[in-house]
Amino acid sequence: MRESLASGVAVALISAAVLAYEILLMALFSLIQWHHFAFLVVSIALLGFGFSGSFLALARSRLAHHGADFMSSQALAFALAAPASFALAQRLSFNPEELIWDPGHWLRLGLVILLLMLPFFFAANLIGFALDAYRRRQARIYAADLAGAGTGALALIALLALLPPASLLRAIGFLGCAAGLALWLARPDRSRARLAALAVVVAALALYPARWSAPLISPYKEMSQLLRVSGARVLAERHGPLGLVSVVDSGAIPWRHAPGLSLVARGEPLPQLALFTNAGAPSAITRYRGERDALAYLDQMTSALPYHVAAPARVLVLGAGGGADVLQALFHDAARIDAVELNPQVVELVGRDFAEFSGGIYSHPRVSIHVADARGFLERDGARYDLIQVPPLDPGGGAGTALQGLNENFVYTVDALARALERLAPGGTIALTRWVALPPRDNLKLFATALAALARAGLEAPEHHLALIRGLQTSTLLISRDALEGDAIARLRDFADARLFDSVYYPGMPRALANRYNRLDTPAFYDGIQALLGPGRDDFMRDYKFELQPATDDRPFHFHFARLGTLVELMRLRDSGGGGLLETGYLTLLVALVLAVALSLGLILIPLLALRRRARDASGAGGLRVPLYFAAIGLGFLLLEITFLQKYVLLLRHPVVAAATVLASFLIGAGLGSAFAQRHAGKRRARRVLCIAVAAILVLGCGYLLLFDALLAALAAASTGVRLLLGVALIAPLAFCLGLPFPLGLAALGAGTPALVPWAWGINGCASVAGAILATLLAIHFGFDAVIAIALGCYALAAATFPRLEDDRKRRPVVKTASE
């Protein structure tokens, strides 16, 4: 009794630790690279748990008499592996950019996956053995597993605001030690040797140098490059759930950030401090002393265009960062400026810690600062604006840009721009400044998105409401509530010509006026836009080398431009300049899928082949029924989980927060469903219960397809707490139903051919590992709704297959195998 209770406590502690570790890896990937790689982290976790299942199935008889020692050893192994595996994985120096040039980085990625898998493997060994060893108290142990997992996910979000990531890795290791201590206290003998082993691990963690697990940020990220400059130093850092915010000073060699500054600008940018989020997305804190004339250089950037086409009195800045766009609005005498910034630590640094340096711009009488998500602010704010300014806060070219294709962005979508149009006052404009990339793709895709948004808003002749200019580095797209005519077009041309910016498009613009200053071989931007406006638009978008379909809330991947055919072509041309055009984030996704499938086959399925052959020889079982059923529910579950994880970024504003909420909700809900299924498993009513569960999944899934966007839009205006609670409530009933098919299927299979159970578990694990990555790939190409529909199809297939499993059980004699 005491040992089973201690096992429950140990399972709760290790579950909290392992889920916290999983989410922490996403936060660390965001810092080290340019993406959270949530799909890869989930796949790694599932690979560890799947490998554990095959290991326990094969080693079950040998471990049966060493249960307590085995669980204790796995708790301590997890404690050591949590910080050590991450530290070792970093030393492999995997760089997604080099997948293009060096096939050795495919191997490095595989080794990274294996190293990061180890903590999940050890934790899964403890949990799986406890569930198997204490079957009479299995429900309580399972409940402890779920409670611990949910607590760990939510606790990590709070701890990210208090401790740096390296310290959290050690803290997670100490949770593993606590699990080992709980098991030791329950032992009757309380062996001194085991206590000594525990003490050694605790001492090792206490003495473990934090620098060993300190994030090794990619040398290609913007902050890494700046810190290479002589005299550059970090002045301040803030850790939080939204990442690491850093302020860097480069005194010896001044750092200046003025995106799109005209080549003929006369005014010099003011002294600045660099502001980075997760070592990238640079912004600038500008030294301001209240002198308006000192800000004249801000009028020499493409983003100043809307202030010359009209004279906006009320301005909304989405993505305030260090405040450069706020200063630009102040320079142009905007009467009221609402600045929206997602990260409260950015506001704290600019508005408090460096208030004297920045001139207290966030406390200026004409400025109101709002700590909020840009999209959420648009949804809930009822004010009308003369100008909505959207600056470019993503990496401006280089390595980071190539990985942006995997990032969800709910600002550059048709839905977001249509919502922004509703927030404009009569005569108001939206200005979106983007980086210039060649061949044209980002700017053309954004133009197509704006056309779709204007059409959705019901404006006739959308092409009369758009204008685009470009400089050497940036372009600015103007979306006007009213048609652009006469004086407005003349002011646009005067502004562009005076600063040597190229006019790319305005209503009635002739081709001869394009490509005059920042010359290309052909006026590619002008020609591309004319093709988007012409009768051959569909053919142009289909045949273009890059993806130009407008991003939507269902496919919020504005930065994804890769096509499979173009990817293959660019790989062939990588030594001739094609490598710079490759979207390495997409390539990483494809490579990760191949590696995940290969590793899951090698670590999960192939080791279980012997058990399957033995069971098939004993019972005569065969065919595709077992793999179809368990692959379908494994794939379906992960397709839904990853889709919610990505879609909840819109609801909860940040991928790490969304991951914690979605993973905890799915795990707890599915666990409760599995506990409920245990009451019916192996009984005649099991088939009926499964059919009801699948019917509920199909009904809920169809409901999400029809109502999900409306529900998210309604919740977007709510407070963070309300959004969090209602977000969990949306997932809970679906997750509960998703927890039923797996235990019901195992019971139906185990009643007739129990030796096939590990094989079924392995099939489910392989499908889950692949599903975690496949969900992102499908969402990029077909959208979230299509992924949900495919997942529902998987469960429909499972419902059709389950009765046949049950029929097999009725026909075959029960045969015990050696593995039992």
What is the average pLDDT across 113-135? Answer: 88
Q: In this predicted structure, what is the pLDDT of residue 3?
A: 65
CA distance 460 to 750: 64
Does position 817 have pLDDT exceeding 70, yes or no?
Answer: no
| CB 324 within 8 Å of CB 283 | yes
Strands 245-250 and 272-277: antiparallel
Average pLDDT in the 756-762 region?
71
- The percentage of residues in the chain with a pLDDT greater than 90, rounded to a whole number, is 48
């640094």: which residue's tokens?
349
188 preceded by a cis bond (ω within 30 of 0): no
pLDDT at position 707: 85
Residue 586 — pLDDT band, cuts 50, 70, 90? Answer: confident
Question: Residue 814's pLDDT is what?
Answer: 41
Cβ proximity of 562 and 586 under 8 Å: yes
Question: How far is 597 from 592, CA to CA, in rounded Å?
Answer: 8
Question: pLDDT-derived band of residue 464, with 50, 70 and 90 as boundaries?
Answer: very high
Res 716: pLDDT: 65
pLDDT in tens, 37-60: 777 888 899 899 888 888 888 887
Residue in 216, 284, 169 with CA at minimum distance from that of residue 33: 216
Distance of CA 335 to the CA centre of its chain: 38
Q: How far lies 511's CA from each of 15, 441, 462, 478, 504, in Å?
A: 63, 19, 20, 19, 9
User: How deeply is 129 buried, as exposed, middle or buried, from its count of CB atoms within 10 A (0-12, 13-18, 19+)?
Assistant: buried
Local confidence band at 757 (pLDDT 50, 70, 90 cut-offs) = low
Whether the per-residue pLDDT at 577 is higher than 70: the answer is no
Label residue 400 by pLDDT band (50, 70, 90).
very low
| Predicted confidence (pLDDT) per residue in 238-289, tens digit | 988 888 999 999 988 889 999 999 999 988 899 999 999 999 889 999 999 9
Q: Residues 515-523: what's their mean pLDDT?
A: 94
Indicate the residue type of 265: A
pLDDT at 638 over 70: yes
For residue 89, the Cα-to-chain-centroid distance in whole angstroms is: 20
pLDDT, mean over the chain:
86
Radius of gyration of the chain (CA): 28
CB 753 within 8 A of CB 619: yes
User: Quick check: 702 pLDDT over 90?
Assistant: yes
pLDDT at 448 over 80: yes
Lowest-pLDDT range of 16-25, 280-289, 353-362, 647-656? 647-656
pLDDT tier at 372, thresholds 50, 70, 90 = confident
* CA atoms within 13 A of residue 236's CA, in its CB half-sphere: 15
Q: Three-state SS for 281? A: strand
Average pLDDT in the 361-378 region? 92
- Distance from chain centroid for Cα 427: 37
Please report which helix (H) or strand (E) contains residue 82, including its range: helix 67-91
- Position 95 scores a pLDDT of 79
pLDDT at 820: 33
User: 799: which residues sit within 8 A by CB, 6+ positions away?
Assistant: 690, 691, 694
365: how many CB neighbours lie within 10 A of its CB?
Answer: 6
Confidence band for 621, pLDDT divided at 50, 70 and 90: very low
CA 33 – CA 224 distance, rounded (Å): 11
Among 5-19, 179-193, 226-240, 698-712, the minimum mean pLDDT is found in 179-193
Lowest mean pLDDT among 1-15, 255-269, 733-747: 1-15
Task: Of 627, 758, 748, give the one whose Cα is nearest residue 689.
Answer: 748
Please choose, from the candidates 244, 83, 224, 280, the residue with its C-alpha nearest in 3D space to the C-alpha of residue 164: 244
Nearest CA to 683 among 740, 623, 748, 591?
748
Q: From CA 597, how far away is CA 772, in angstroms rounded?
A: 11
Strand order in the sheet with 232-238: 232-238, 245-250, 272-277, 280-286
Each as own residue / partner, the long-range contacts of residues 100-107 (CB below 8 Å, 24 or more positions apart, any chain) are 100/571, 100/574, 100/579, 100/582, 100/584, 100/587, 101/574, 101/579, 106/591, 106/595
What type of residue is 736? Answer: F
- Asked if pLDDT for residue 610 goes beyond 70, the answer is no
Residues 6 or more apart whose CB falls under 8 angstroms from that of 462 comprise: 450, 451, 454, 455
Q: What does the pLDDT read at residue 409?
A: 87
pLDDT-derived band of residue 136, with 50, 70 and 90 as boundaries?
low
pLDDT of 85 higher than 70: yes
Distance separating alpha carbons of residues 465 and 483, to the nearest angstrom = 5
Rounded mean pLDDT, 426-434 = 96
What's residue 436's pLDDT?
A: 93
Cβ atoms of 766 and 601 closer than 8 Å:
yes
**pTM for the complete prediction?**
0.88
Share above pLDDT 70 across residues of the chain, in percent, rounded to a whole number: 89
Higher model confidence: residue 820 or residue 504? 504
Tokens of 463: 């092409």
Residue 539 pLDDT level (bands cut at 50, 70, 90): very high
Residue 57 has which token pair? 């199935």
